[in-house]
């Protein structure tokens, strides 16, 4: 597995798209943090980038890379290697490279200009989102051979988590506004890694006016160290569960 991880990691690090992605994050982060006088406003601007651009690049790049590596995987399957080793090696290489690009692009400016609890939470959630959407991308690719269809599924998943989910939650709130939905809102927050990451960062920033109804409820129930532990455990599950399902499918898939 080490050789597969090393090959994938080396191949992706030299990829021009990943280099451009890292440089773009670095330029935007330095620009926002150095030009914005208010650290709170600067972190809110970076928050939007982390919650939108990072998942989008992670899921689209991973989807395309897995499809383009299909011939390489078939070659590896001809060797005395387990399918589990090939699939996990590809996942670790992809996740490590995209997480490294994020930590360089966002991490260096944050450590220089905003080295505090909010900055560390931003880096932690961004790291998790990078790996989570690699895992989701691999799940999408293993269920269809059609590259165009796979990319379309990945884009739809990103749209769902980034935009549609919050709309569905708001519609649910309006439809059942006469009923107590506190516990339901907590469960719904765990069903979207982007929404959960947003709440974690806003809790650290202590900007309750910007948190909305979902964030306020989450703060009441999980605004403690135990709540943070539960939240990161849920983010970890968002990595593990799609990866397990994709691995099970890949083991049975006829290549």
| Distance separating alpha carbons of residues 1 and 93, to the nearest angstrom | 10
For the chain, how many residues are written?
255
User: What is the reported pLDDT for 177?
Assistant: 64
Reported for 10-16, long-range contacts at CB under 8 A and 24+ positions apart, including other chains, are 11/93, 12/65, 12/93, 12/94, 12/97, 12/98, 13/97, 13/100
Structural domains in the chain (count): 1
Q: Are 202 and 215 in contact (CB under 8 A)?
A: yes
Total Cβ atoms within 10 A of residue 254 = 4
Instruction: Render the burial of 64-100: b for 16+ CB within 10 Å, e for the rest.
Output: bbbbebeeebeebeeeeeebebbbbbbbbbbbbbbbb
Helical H runs in the chain? 2-13, 16-35, 39-68, 70-77, 83-102, 108-113, 117-142, 147-159, 165-175, 182-190, 193-205, 208-222, 225-252
For the chain, 255 residues long, give each residue's pLDDT as a single digit of tens: 778 888 888 888 888 899 999 999 999 998 888 877 777 778 888 888 889 999 999 999 999 999 998 888 878 777 777 888 889 989 999 999 999 999 999 999 998 888 888 889 899 999 999 999 999 999 999 988 888 899 999 999 999 998 888 788 777 777 776 666 667 777 777 888 998 888 888 777 766 545 555 556 666 666 667 778 888 999 999 999 999 999 998 888 766
The model's pTM is 0.90
How buried is 174 (Cβ within 10 angstroms: 0-12 exposed, 13-18 middle, 19+ buried)? exposed
User: What is the reported pLDDT for 171?
Assistant: 79
Domain encompassing residue 128? 2-252
User: What is the reported pLDDT for 223?
Assistant: 64
| Distance separating alpha carbons of residues 105 and 22, to the nearest angstrom | 5
Q: Which two tokens stand for residue 96?
A: 């490590």
Which residues have C-beta within 8 Å of that of residue 22, sequence separation ≥ 6? 101, 104, 105
């Amino acid at each position: 597995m080490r050789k597969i991880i090393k090959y994938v990691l080396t191949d992706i690090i030299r990829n021009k798209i990943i280099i451009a992605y890292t440089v773009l994050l670095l330029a935007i982060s330095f620009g926002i943090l150095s030009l914005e006088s208010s650290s709170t406003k600067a972190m809110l601007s970076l928050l939007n980038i982390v919650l939108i651009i990072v998942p989008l690049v992670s899921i689209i790049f991973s989807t395309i890379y897995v499809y383009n590596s299909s011939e390489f995987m078939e070659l590896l399957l001809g060797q005395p290697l387990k399918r589990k080793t090939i699939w996990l090696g590809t996942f670790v290489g992809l996740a490590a490279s995209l997480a490294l690009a994020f930590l360089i692009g966002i991490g260096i400016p944050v450590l220089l200009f905003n080295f505090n609890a909010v900055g560390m939470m931003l880096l932690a959630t961004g790291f998790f989102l990078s790996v989570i959407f690699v895992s989701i991308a691999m799940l999408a690719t293993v269920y269809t051979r059609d590259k165009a269809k796979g990319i379309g599924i990945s884009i739809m998943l990103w749209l769902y988590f980034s935009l549609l989910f919050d709309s569905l939650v708001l519609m649910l709130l309006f439809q059942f506004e006469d009923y107590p939905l506190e516990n339901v809102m907590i469960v719904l927050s765990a069903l979207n890694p982007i929404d959960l990451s947003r709440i974690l960062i806003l809790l650290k920033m202590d900007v309750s006016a910007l948190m909305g109804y979902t964030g306020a409820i989450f703060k009441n129930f999980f605004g403690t160290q135990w709540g943070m532990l539960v939240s990161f455990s849920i983010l970890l599950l968002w990595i593990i569960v799609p990866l397990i399902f994709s691995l099970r499918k890949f083991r049975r898939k006829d290549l």
